Amino acid sequence: MATLLTEPTPRHEPDRFGRPDAGWRLRLYIIIFEADTRAGRAFDLTLLAFILISVTVVMLDSVEAISTRWGDLLTVLEWFFTVIFSIEYILRLLCVRKPKRYARSLFGVIDLLAILPTYLALFIPGLHSLIDVRVLRMLRIFRILKLGEYVREFSELGNAILATRRKIAVFLSFVLIVVVVMGTLMYVVEGPENGFTSVPVSVYWAISTLTTVGFGDITPKTDLGRLIASMMMLMGWGTLAVPTGIVSAEFAVRRINPEITTRTCHECLSEGHPSLAKFCADCGAKLPPYQLDAGEN
Amino acid sequence: MATLLTEPTPRHEPDRFGRPDAGWRLRLYIIIFEADTRAGRAFDLTLLAFILISVTVVMLDSVEAISTRWGDLLTVLEWFFTVIFSIEYILRLLCVRKPKRYARSLFGVIDLLAILPTYLALFIPGLHSLIDVRVLRMLRIFRILKLGEYVREFSELGNAILATRRKIAVFLSFVLIVVVVMGTLMYVVEGPENGFTSVPVSVYWAISTLTTVGFGDITPKTDLGRLIASMMMLMGWGTLAVPTGIVSAEFAVRRINPEITTRTCHECLSEGHPSLAKFCADCGAKLPPYQLDAGEN
Amino acid sequence: MATLLTEPTPRHEPDRFGRPDAGWRLRLYIIIFEADTRAGRAFDLTLLAFILISVTVVMLDSVEAISTRWGDLLTVLEWFFTVIFSIEYILRLLCVRKPKRYARSLFGVIDLLAILPTYLALFIPGLHSLIDVRVLRMLRIFRILKLGEYVREFSELGNAILATRRKIAVFLSFVLIVVVVMGTLMYVVEGPENGFTSVPVSVYWAISTLTTVGFGDITPKTDLGRLIASMMMLMGWGTLAVPTGIVSAEFAVRRINPEITTRTCHECLSEGHPSLAKFCADCGAKLPPYQLDAGEN
Amino acid sequence: MATLLTEPTPRHEPDRFGRPDAGWRLRLYIIIFEADTRAGRAFDLTLLAFILISVTVVMLDSVEAISTRWGDLLTVLEWFFTVIFSIEYILRLLCVRKPKRYARSLFGVIDLLAILPTYLALFIPGLHSLIDVRVLRMLRIFRILKLGEYVREFSELGNAILATRRKIAVFLSFVLIVVVVMGTLMYVVEGPENGFTSVPVSVYWAISTLTTVGFGDITPKTDLGRLIASMMMLMGWGTLAVPTGIVSAEFAVRRINPEITTRTCHECLSEGHPSLAKFCADCGAKLPPYQLDAGEN
């Protein structure tokens, strides 16, 4: 609870983009970037609603039966939301002291991507549906609820995946080597006449098989090809167990030893001592008594 | 075993709908709602058998070869069971003191849904097969066996999933954002000529791919589409590991520390004693009696 | 190690079928049923080889290109193995003292099933390929290697699955109810014109979707059907996590606390005390000091 | 860090192929086989880049649209890389003292396989794309980064899988027996007219179903076949949980007890100290230096 007192602005992002000191820019900044005032909260909720409706509009517009009948209304709505989001984007740029930093931040780029397609679609009609990437703005929902009940879960998920990122990188490299080898093999065995038209296509098939997706748009027809595919599937099964195992283990360890990275030796400041340890495993100093502080609720 | 003596009606639902005080309504209530008398048990078993047969009848009726030959018999049987279930539903309403509460409870709604389709099918023939939702009544099987050996497993499953519900909610929100973005991308890349006829359809494809179902009714045909699909499948693989990991970890922790933070020795203040322990495993002092406070509701 | 001394015949099945006392029947029994003499071991290995070749013969016989060319040879081979296995089966019946018990045991039934189809195929040609069920006889491989290195793994697997059988039973009942409800719903929504020709077929589709197999022989065509299917797939994903989590947790617990069912209180004979416990959690008596005896190797 | 001083050649493979004593062969050996000099590192990185480009060239060459247009350039590039790799292979053979040992080692065989197909393709054009197996040479990437941050993850993965290899062997034998039995059953039930053309093909179908790949190129058409397939899929689901559970448990145990039974304090005889610990966590005594004995080989 002490951190709450020393960190005065925990509900919004840390002051990365330069909080203005006073005036209309400060008032705007508080509404747009902070979420712990009434106005800020109302702004965020309105924004989320607008994003949701706007994404729905673009999705419906792509359904032919609907677009032929309600096309005009949907186009008006889409432009309405695009203009709203454009104004919001400009206001964001105006009210921060480091607008470049905001423009290059993750959410700055997403905010831009959310309005660009409508304008680009005037010139290149095909890009029209890309407006849907504005669903990415929904990621804000996690930021808004930052101190709410979801943040602990979210950061826990993030930490567990972060902690296993190197294991998963090693694993993915291995999988990529395997799918290239198997794809090439199947291309040679089955050949273009059975749907394996090129090595990249065969690699695509190998990935879809190894991940157990198995579309079935390309399938082995020869006996040898089916034998290789059978072995691949059994292999893929075992392989599937590896990342699952890595992440599961990470979660289990975090649930069992929540303090796995929190218990610190007062002498050498090394971290991560098990809850039952009495002495520091790095310098031999006596550890402070273990206190269980993070119960489930 | 002591709880059995102090809690006189552990075998049936707690007295939520108002147990009548005396007369035929009490006798009926005991038979229909309670399961620890001989008559109540017989009633429940008959009911389960009726539900099973009735569901089978509706399933068979939908098979053309069977319905053309045995159609009349099946229709008679279906009406027989519907009448039986209707009488049962009315009796349930009659014998409780708070019939509205029953009608709005989960099982009250299911009981109504189990008889409505037959009557509605008189007017709208298409709804006919919906009678099969009466299989939901089979959920009663868990209620009936409540104090049997299955209930501990059931509430354990429920608790583990309940405990991870927020992690899974966060995870599902993230997945939904991903499938909308990927679906839109594939719609733009592949277009209606390759089966991706609209954004909703593309999102459906993205879900079927990310969950590794991979029907294959819609598949990417262009090289770029296949590249994106390949990356999605590898991603989906990693993603699949997350909920599995969450639930696995929860189960593991529950198996290792069945009472993870709830039971404390009054003598040495050590925590985490199993629910069945009578003495503290650390100092040998007698533990306070265990109280089950977190039911499945 | 003590058990090895008190149980003199650990390498073969316990004396369930009546070991003869002397004579040719004893000699035959030792060869056929026991595996710790040189002759017994040779017999078992020959038998395994015969089973493997015989299964391969039947598999090859079903491939048209091979059967048209080598059909006669394969038929001769099949009859050769069938005669051999028939003689073996009769000898097994002859040399035990309780032949009925053997005939009704699991392996007795499998041994019969392994020879019946060849004879039955004389009358009903379609059953011919069923001879392949003799691959079930390969299960003997685990029995033969009984005291070898595989048995510990095998019984560990068995125990973990056995320990979770009730959780999995609850889970399967739940899944069955879900697939009937979802199958019926899809039958009503999609109807026979989109491939959902009957409720049983729709249930088959629901199972193939929920298990993420996704054959794609039947797929939703309507928008509503695809929406329901999308929700099913996301659900199925979460559901998939449950049995995996159950079994994973079981394995983890067994690996971490190998003594979970082995540590015994000398006072009240209760079992399963954690490795760190100093006092019996059931009677409060001091536990004997914990000895780690089962390392990995 | 002390191990780095006492073990002088940790960055390259142990001296398995005979490190020359002096002269140009030693200089070549250091560049080619060792990675801790500047020249050696540059050589390895160039090699990796060449392998990557070379694999890309072969993959592009198999795409018809590209090969018809850029065919000549790609052929030149392919021969360029083949010549480079051939020279490298010969130099490797020349500079080691035991060239036969190198030629028969895993990487020796891969190095040969990486150049053979180009030469063989002069005589047998179909083998052309097999050159892509040179992607296997990328496995060197793990060797090169040996003391980098990835190696700990890699050997951890390897150890966990190695530790569970017997459980998985038992499991795979069981799965193989199941797929042969189910494949045969489906062949008899569905027959060649529904796509189950032979027992091996049916076994291929059974594998694709049990692993939840579900291509959909072969699917049951009869009611009985679909019933059996439904049961198989539900079974396969549970089965899928087993290897995942085995590997997950192994990872969890390794994360919780990284040195599960191998490191012992000489003072208090407590076990299971982490590999990086310098002092006993139970009594504070200095631990004997940690020796890594179980390499990945």
C-alpha D48 chain-centroid distance: 17
Contact assignment for B184 to A129 by CB distance below 8 Å:
yes
Q: Residue D279's beta-bridge partner residues?
A: D286
Residue of B nearest to A173 (CA): B234
Looking at beta carbons, which residues of chain D come within 8 Å of B245? 248
> How many CB atoms are located within 10 Å of the residue D14 CB?
10
- Is the pLDDT assigned to residue B262 strictly greater than 70? no
Mutate which: D237, D261, D293, vs C, most C CBs within 10 A: D237
**Shortest alpha-carbon distance between residue A105 and chain C (Å):** 32
Residue D129 near residue A203, CB atoms below 8 Å = no
Of D289 and A7, more confident: D289
Residue D171 near residue D242, CB atoms below 8 Å = yes
Looking at beta carbons, which residues of chain A come within 8 Å of C251? none
Instruction: Report the percentage of chain C scoring pLDDT > 90.
Output: 9
Residue A287 main-chain phi, psi, to 5 deg: -85, 150
Contact assignment for C197 to B64 by CB distance below 8 Å:
yes
Give D254-265 pLDDT, tens digit per residue.
766 654 444 566
Of A150 and A72, more confident: A72
Q: Residue C264's beta-bridge partner residues?
A: C271
Residue A107 near residue A26, CB atoms below 8 Å = no
Distance CA D55, CA D49 (A): 10
Distance CA A16, CA B47 (A): 65
Among the listed residues A109, A142, A127, the one whose alpha carbon sits nearest the alpha carbon of residue A58:
A127
Which tokens in the block code for residue A27? Answer: 């008032």
Distance CA C89, CA B65 (A): 44
Burial string for D87-118 (b: 16+ CB within 10 Å, else e) reads: ebbeebbebbeebeebbeeebbebbeebbbbb
> What's the mean pLDDT in D84-96?
90
- Amino acid identity at B209: T
Residue at token pair 């609850």 = C170
Ranges under pLDDT 50 in chain C: 1-13, 146-148, 259-262, 290-297
Which tokens in the block code for residue A211? Answer: 């991940």
**What pLDDT, on a 0 to 100 scale, did the predictor assign at position C12?**
44
Cross-chain CB nearest to C248 (options A214, A223, A248): A248
To 10 degrees, what angle do helices D199-210 and A223-256 make?
20
**Shortest alpha-carbon distance between residue D212 and chain B (Å):** 8
Among the listed residues B60, B50, B59, B35, the one whose alpha carbon sits nearest the alpha carbon of residue B138:
B50
**Shortest alpha-carbon distance between residue C206 and chain B (Å):** 11
- Mean pLDDT, chain A, rounded, equals 75
Distance CA C258, CA A65 (A): 63
- Is the pLDDT assigned to residue B292 strictly greater than 70? no
Looking at beta carbons, which residues of chain A come within 8 Å of C223? 63
Contact assignment for A251 to B245 by CB distance below 8 Å:
yes
- Longest Cα–Cα distance of chain D, Å, equals 77
Looking at beta carbons, which residues of chain B come within 8 Å of A142? 170, 173
Contact assignment for B216 to D215 by CB distance below 8 Å:
yes
Residues of D in CB contact (< 8 Å) with B are 63, 212, 214-216, 223, 244-245, 248, 252
Residues of B in CB contact (< 8 Å) with D are 63, 212-216, 223, 244-245, 248, 252
Give B63-110 pLDDT, tens digit per residue.
888 888 888 898 889 889 889 989 999 998 888 888 888 888 877 888
Instruction: Report the percentage of chain D scoring pLDDT > 70.
Output: 70
Among the listed residues D74, D76, D37, the one whose alpha carbon sits nearest the alpha carbon of residue D56:
D74
pTM of this structure? 0.79
Contact assignment for D211 to A236 by CB distance below 8 Å:
yes
Give C77-91 pLDDT, tens digit per residue.
988 988 998 999 999
ipTM rounded to 2 decimals: 0.75
User: Which chains would you list as touching B if contact means 3+ CB atom pairs under 8 Å?
Assistant: A, C, D
Looking at beta carbons, which residues of chain B come within 8 Å of A157? 167, 170-171, 242
Length of chain C: 297
Distance CA D277, CA A283 (A): 9
Residue D192 main-chain phi, psi, to 5 deg: -60, -30
Distance CA C93, CA C99 (A): 5
Residue C247 near residue D245, CB atoms below 8 Å = yes
**What pLDDT, on a 0 to 100 scale, did the predictor assign at position C288?**
64
Contact assignment for A247 to B250 by CB distance below 8 Å:
no
Return the SS3 of B286: strand
Residues 6+ apart with CB under 8 A from C112: C89, C103
Cross-chain CB nearest to A177 (options D136, D282, D285): D136
Distance CA D282, CA B58 (A): 67
Residues 6+ apart with CB under 8 A from B92: B32, B33, B102, B108, B111
Return the SS3 of D279: strand
Distance CA A276, CA B265 (A): 18
Return the SS3 of A279: strand
Residue A158 near residue B206, CB atoms below 8 Å = no
pLDDT band at B114 (very low <50, low <70, confident <90, very high): confident
Looking at beta carbons, which residues of chain A come within 8 Å of B216? 214-217
Residue of A nearest to D63 (CA): A198
> How many CB atoms are located within 10 Å of the residue C158 CB?
11
Looking at beta carbons, which residues of chain D come within 8 Å of A209? 213
pLDDT band at A45 (very low <50, low <70, confident <90, very high): confident
Give A243-285 pLDDT, tens digit per residue.
777 777 777 777 666 544 445 666 665 555 555 556 665 666 6
Residue C268 near residue C283, CB atoms below 8 Å = yes
**Shortest alpha-carbon distance between residue C247 and chain A (Å):** 12
Which tokens in the block code for residue A40? Answer: 């800020």
- Amino acid identity at C241: A
Angle, CA of C31, C32 and C36, to the nearest 5°? 55
pLDDT band at D22 (very low <50, low <70, confident <90, very high): confident
**Shortest alpha-carbon distance between residue A245 and chain C (Å):** 9
Torsion B247-B249-B252-B256 (CA) sign? negative
Looking at beta carbons, which residues of chain C come within 8 Å of A242? none
Residue A247 near residue B246, CB atoms below 8 Å = no
**What pLDDT, on a 0 to 100 scale, did the predictor assign at position C220?**
93
**What pLDDT, on a 0 to 100 scale, did the predictor assign at position D119?**
84
Return the SS3 of A31: helix
Burial of C84 (0-12, 13-18, 19+ CB in 10 A): middle
Which tokens in the block code for residue C94? Answer: 């002859």
Residue C160 near residue B119, CB atoms below 8 Å = no
**What pLDDT, on a 0 to 100 scale, did the predictor assign at position C24?**
86
Mutate which: D60, D66, D248, D250, vs B, most B CBs within 10 A: D248
Mutate which: B224, B248, B254, B257, vs D, most D CBs within 10 A: B248
- DSSP result, D69-129: HHHHHHHHHHHHHHHHHHHHHHHHHHHSS-HHHHHHSHHHHHHHHTTHHHHHTTT-GGGGG
Burial of A235 (0-12, 13-18, 19+ CB in 10 A): middle
Which tokens in the block code for residue A123? Answer: 């010139």
**What pLDDT, on a 0 to 100 scale, did the predictor assign at position A270?**
58
pLDDT band at B268 (very low <50, low <70, confident <90, very high): low
A63-72, A153-162, A227-236, B148-157: least confident range: B148-157
- Amino acid identity at C119: Y
Looking at beta carbons, which residues of chain C come within 8 Å of A245? 248
Residue of D nearest to A209 (CA): D213
Residue B247 near residue C252, CB atoms below 8 Å = no
Return the SS3 of A219: coil
Distance CA A33, CA D14 (A): 58
User: Which chains would you list as touching A if contact means 3+ CB atom pairs under 8 Å?
Assistant: B, C, D
**What pLDDT, on a 0 to 100 scale, did the predictor assign at position C164?**
73
Burial string for B14-28 (b: 16+ CB within 10 Å, else e) reads: eeebebbeeeebeeb
Give B230-249 pLDDT, tens digit per residue.
999 987 776 777 777 777 77
**Shortest alpha-carbon distance between residue D146 and chain A (Å):** 12
**What pLDDT, on a 0 to 100 scale, did the predictor assign at position C265?**
63
Return the SS3 of C174: helix
